[in-house]
Structures are given as structure tokens and as C-alpha cells.
Chains A and B, each alone.
Chain A
Amino acid sequence: MTKSRIDNRFAALKAAGRAGFVAYVMAGDPDGATAAEILRGLPGAGADLIEVGFPFSDPMAEGPPIQRAAQRALASGMTLAGTLGMVRDFRKDDQATPIILMGYMNLLVTWGVEPFARDAAEAGVDGLIVVDCPPEEAGPLADALDLAGVALIRLTTPTSDDARLATIVRRTSGFVYYVSVAGVTGVKEADATAVAPHVARVRQAAGLPVAVGFGIRTPQRAAEIARIADAVVVGSALVDEIADAVQKNEDVTQRVLSKADSLAKAVRSARVGQTTV
């Protein structure tokens, strides 16, 4: 049961009295080999959990940075099968860091949700976020993931009221992903003061750890969110490093891992000298 990898990680973070750092990267960005190298390096750079995007042609919940990452990944030939292969390779050296896949429904429908759940679990995937699959339509997917022992992780937003929240968390496991701004990834900035009561509300409703993402780009902002949430997700800011390094012909892996390292340090030190929440 791979789900326990997520639970174990959050239990360890709680024991350590700190928030986790969740790094998002897109499989195949900028190419398969470099993305695999980045993935292997992320735990060493301080990532407590890793989200791996699988590229889709029409990523409607993403802002420009991750849209472009998906286009680079598709251009490099990355597929959902290739994404699972990348996770399988990662698992040869790392049995502890949870891997969450994130993407869109059509590729899973094409694969078949039941075989996909089995194949993902076998590859070493611990959780799945499907951006365009609302709870009303998620029954078959949730059943398949339950059977395979993969966590279905749901997004909640500032517009989710209490009734909606109850629907959303019903079949969520692992953790809940709180989208800190109304909108798409990587555009608006999250405000920790405004986010704090929502995190408490979601944690209460779900009885699960709450990770906050969408709109966290700097170590300072990551530290602020780390004081009030169980985990901090950074995606667009890491992906931007890839785009910039490619453009300047610099070492892509080194740039991304260095950025991840600075964010991870900010998250790890955020609650030092502070009473844990």
C-alpha cells in the first residue's frame, strides 16, 4: 500500500514540528533525461514530497509557466507511459519520498482508469491529482485508486464553501491541496494571513494534512505559508527556472535544484522559535 508513504511522511513532518516542502516538476520538461535527473535530485535539495505533472495539450487550470512546460514536454515526446517509467526509475533509489502525479482526465480515460491505477501503483506512484475531474464524476476513478492503494488528492479553493468542502473531502486521502488564490497556477500571489483561516477550515473538514499551493514563488512567501500550513507547494517558480536556464543555455538541473534548495530551507526554518500550529 503506497498510500502509507504519504501518511508516513506527514507523520514525520509533524513529529519534527515543521511544514513539508512539495516540489512540482513536469515530466519531460525540458526533456526526458533532464527531467529524470531533476527528479532524482529533488529529495537531496530538500523536497519532502514531489508532484510530477504529466503533460496535456489543453491544461486549462495552468498559467503561462506550466502551459509552456507542458508544451516543452510534449515536444520532447513525453507521454503518460513515459511519466510512469520516470517514477519507476526514481523508485529504484528512493523508497521514502512520496510521488504525486498531477494532470488532466482525458489521458486517464484513454488509458482506462482501472488499469491506470494498477500501473501507477506498480510504478511507485503514491497519489494522484486530476485537475478536471470533480467529485461528482470521480466515483470510478476513486474506486480504482482505492483498490490499487493510491491516494486521490483533491483541490479545494477559496470558493469552496462548507457544504462543498464536505463533498470534496469525502473520498480524499493522503492530504488535501488548498489552492490559495482564485485562478490558475503561477499568476497571483498567495497571502498567508488570508489563507490561514481557510487552511484551518479544510483541515477540520478533512481530518487530513493541508498543502497550500498556487501563487507561492519566493522563499519568503514559502516561509509565511509554512507557518500556517502542513505543506507548501511550489511549481511555476521551479518551472520558470527551467525555461530561463534553457533559454540562457545554463545547467538546467543545477538551476532547478538550487531554487528548490532555497525554498526548502525557507520552509524548514519557518517555524524555528515558533510554537507549532
Chain B
Amino acid sequence: MPLVHQLDAAYSAAKADDGFQAELSSYLTHYVGRPSPLYFAKRLTDYFGGARIYLKREELNHTGSHKINNCMGQILLAMRMGKTRIIAETGAGQHGVATATVCARFGLPCVVYMGAVDVERQKPNVFRMNLLGAEVRPVTAGSATLKDAMNEALRDWVTNVEDTYYLIGSAAGMHPYPAMVRDFQAIIGREVREQVRLAEDRLPDALVACVGGGSNAIGLFHAFLNDSSVKLFGVEAAGQGLETGRHAAAINGGRPGVLHGNMTYLLQDREGQIEEAHSISAGLDYPGIGPEHAWLHDVGRATYLAATDDEALAAFQLCAELEGILPAIESAHALARLPEITREVGKGGIVVLNLSGRGDKDVNTVAAHLGRTI
């Protein structure tokens, strides 16, 4: 606990420090490439025939996803705290790559814990992390996936607390991580607010994002939480179908419990043993969801839908064919619910979807599911 209290205090001080914010802002502009564009997806809009669809192009950030926003914030915080070694967990490898990237940029040693199963599934990202100078440690304990990688990173952190900073990638885990990761991702929604105002001179009617731990979604939602006219939709991974039990939908198919230092919706058995999540998307393959999403669900401010592997695959192909954009298979889960959401909002309305990552990393997975060899 002293270590998270220390982190909480250091983050509160940094958050209030104009110098810290200015430095972060400068790196986000010149290194990450912000602001990311807000793009009117005309052909998707015409295809669905409902609300006007805008895509927030987070996949155009350096390293190809929204993950770098948070990594840049936390690495500056780690250096401010005098930490000299960075550890992280990763599922698909996107957060691992983003962490390895900022560690290379600032010359800090980096260890990334990754489930042995994921290491096998995501070899290109493992090599990418190695090229960036990071050591990837496969985790064989438990189910050898993301939650076990997080367990192992926590074990490392408590063992090496003096010099080590644990850079969590999702809006999950113990306080202050969910709030801190949200703050570093909230730039997404702040930009959207301004960009929609410039394009349409009003607020959007609905926001859509995929949710695993939920960092890209909370980043999009945060600036709009007090605008009750703006509907918020999170889309969980329904895997092979909620009814099959093989999914990663913590809100739609789980119940409240305690894991990794926070109380939230979890996939678990009757006794409370944590169950493995299943999704075509390694990035959504986590048995819990960030605690702020659990709260937004409980108070009814946000609506959490789900999309299956097959629906995400179809949306992946549709986006590629109609807009010339390969979305991350994670983001494709959000795309998959556009038919219902654009219909509900209706013609003349505005829907903003967070295209949180690019799909180049997923071409092998998609090919395998389509029965193609590449």
C-alpha cells in the first residue's frame, strides 16, 4: 500500500503542475502526433443510412493506438518520481509496444510481462518490443494470459519497489491507476468535443468505443459525462456468444467482485474464482472492466453492449472495404454495433466512434478466421 500511496501523491502533484502538463503536451504534439483527426466516414454513414458517423482516428498515433497517450504521461511521471526501471503487462502487445517505445525514447530499461499464450499469438509484437530494447517475460502461471501477466507484474513491483515503476495500460487495477489512466486518455474526448464543434457547431448525440479494461472508452467519454444529451455506448467482446460462456463481457456476463485491487464486474465462477476471458481480440481478453465503467453502468449513464468475434470480423472487413481503413480487431467490436446505434440516433444525428487502434497487427488472425493462408 505505501507504494500506491506514494504514486497517488506524486501523480496529484504532477497533475497540478503546469510544467508537467506543458512537457506532456509538447511530447503529445511532436512525438505522438496529436491531435488525431476526426474524420467524417461518409461511406459508412451512407451504408447504414442513419446518423452521421465520425471516426476519431486514434490509430494514426505513433505506435498505432491510443495506448501511447497514457504511456507518455506515465513515463514522465516515473522519471519525475526518480524511478529508473519500468515494468508493464500486455495482452495483445499494443500497450507493451507503446511502453517499450517511451522507454526507448527516454533511455529506461523496460520489462514487459506477457502471458505465454499471448506471446505465441502475438509474435510480431514481441519482436517489435525486442527491437525497442524491451525484455519480454512470458508468464506461464494460471491461464497464461493478460490477468496472469498483471499478477506477475504486481509481484515484480512489490519485490523491486525502490527503483521500479509499474506502468499499467488500462483504466483498471488499484487506485490511482483507473483515474490516472483516464486522465491521460481524456485528451481523446477533449479533442472530439472541439472537433465536432468546429465541424457541426454542436455536441455529438452518441459516442461509441470498445471496452476491455476500458481506457480508450473512458478517454472518449470523460469530457462528455456531464452532457446528458450525449449517449455513451461501450461495446464488450462477446467472443463466441454470451450464451456460450466463452466471452470477455464483464458487465454483460459477469458480476461484481474484487481483483487487482479494485471492485468491479468480473468473469467468475459461483465461488468467486476468476474465469478466463475469451475473445478474438487479445486486447479485450481481460476478465474485468475498469471500475469507472462499472459505475457508469450502475448509475445508467452509459450503456454497455456486446459484439461477437464474428460480428467484429464482419465489421473489420466492412470498414476496410468502405473507408480504406483497417481497424484494430478491438475497435471493430465498436464498429459492429453501429447499425443499431446509428438507427437509434437517427438521420441528422451525430455518432462519434473511437477508432482506437490500427488493424495491421490483426491481419494474421483475420486471415486465419477467414480460412486464408498468408
Contacts and interface: CB of A to CB of B under 8 A. Distances in A.
A58 B147 contact: yes
Contact of B141 (A56, A67, A80, A111): A67
Chain A interface size, under 10 / 10 to 19 / 20 to 34 / 35 or more: 35 or more
A188 B162 CA distance: 15
Given A106-B259, A159-B2, A188 B159 contact: yes
Query: How would you classify the secondary structure of chain B's contact residues: helix, strand, loop or mixed?
Result: mixed
Interface string B262-274: 0100101011111
A61 B2 contact: no
A76 to B, nearest CB: 13
Contacts of A67: 141-142
A201 interface: no
A57 B147 CA distance: 10
Nearest to B154: A60
A106 B158 contact: no
Query: How would you classify the secondary structure of chain A's contact residues: helix, strand, loop or mixed?
Result: loop
Interface in A178-222: 182-184, 187-188
Interface in A52-79: 56-61, 63-64, 67, 71, 74, 79
Contact of B258 (A59, A105, A161, A164): A105
Given A106-B258, A106-B274, A110-B257, A183 B2 contact: no
Contact of A109 (B147, B257, B274): B257
A64 B141 contact: yes
A139 B260 CA distance: 19
A161 B2 contact: yes
Given A132-B261, A134-B1, A183 B147 contact: no
Contacts of A59: 151
Contacts of A123: none
Interface string B26-39: 00000000000000
Interface string A220-251: 00000000000000000000000000000000
B155 interface: yes
Contacts of B259: 58, 106
B131 interface: no
A258 interface: no
B161 interface: yes
Interface string B236-279: 00000000000000000000111111010010101111110000
Interface of A: 56-61, 63-64, 67, 71, 74, 79-81, 104-107, 109-111, 132-134, 136, 157, 159-161, 164, 182-184, 187-188
Given A136-B1, A164-B2, 8 more contacts: A64-B141, A80-B271, A104-B258, A107-B273, A110-B272, A159-B3, A159-B161, A164-B5
Interface of B: 1-3, 5, 141-142, 147-148, 150-151, 154-155, 158-162, 256-261, 263, 266, 268, 270-275
